[in-house]
Amino acid sequence: MLLRAKRIVDREVSDPLIELSGSTLDVYLTLLYANRPLTIREIQRMIGFKSPNSVRHHLEKLISMGYVKRENLGYTAVKPSRSLLNALISIGRLIIPRQFFTWLTVLLISIFYLVVNSFNPMATIVLVAINIIVTYDFLDTYLKIRSIFSLRNRKKARR
């Protein structure tokens, strides 16, 4: 019974960045960053596949998994609601976790409080604890994202 419940939870929390790999992940990320429907030929040229059939194979796989949908003008990526992708903000080619801004705000407020007010041991302990928790959360997300994208870039370099 417990294993069945775990499988149901795992299915609900599916994440393309974790489930996908290799060329299928490349196709998904290409569609995701395009922000518009792409045709098979456009995807083929962008990624560098030799055959449109290989793109079609990856697209069919992504459609069956629910990460891509077919539209009149081509294919678009679907972001799952509980995906690690929702924890990211892209500014141009820079991709950072959303927690970065929370971490920065907490850090600045803590520094400002400690500089302006006289030393209070209890407040200092609470602020340090909050900073440790927020920093851990930010670094955890950042390292997950970094490992996923570094794997992707290593695979691309081998081609």
Average pLDDT, the chain: 76
Helices (H), the chain: 2-12, 16-19, 22-34, 40-47, 52-65, 99-116, 121-158
Structure confidence at residue 107 (pLDDT): 85
How big is the chain by its Cα radius of gyration, in Å?
A: 21
Query: At 77, is the secondary structure helix, strand, or coil?
Result: strand
C-beta of residue 74 within 8 angstroms of C-beta of residue 59: no
Q: What's the confidence (pLDDT) of residue 5?
A: 38
Compute the distance between CA of residue 147 and CA of residue 159 in angstroms, rounded to an integer: 19
CATH architecture observed for domain 2-77: Orthogonal Bundle (1.10)
pLDDT class of 17 with cuts at 50, 70, 90: low
> Among the ranges 16-20, 90-94, 116-120, 148-152, which has the highest mean pLDDT value?
116-120
Q: What is the percent of the chain where pLDDT is above 90?
A: 3
**Cα–Cα distance measured from residue 30 to residue 77, given in angstroms and rounded to the nearest whole number:** 9
Q: Looking at the predicted structure, is the pLDDT value of residue 65 above 80?
A: yes
Q: Where along the chain do its domains lie?
A: 2-77, 85-158
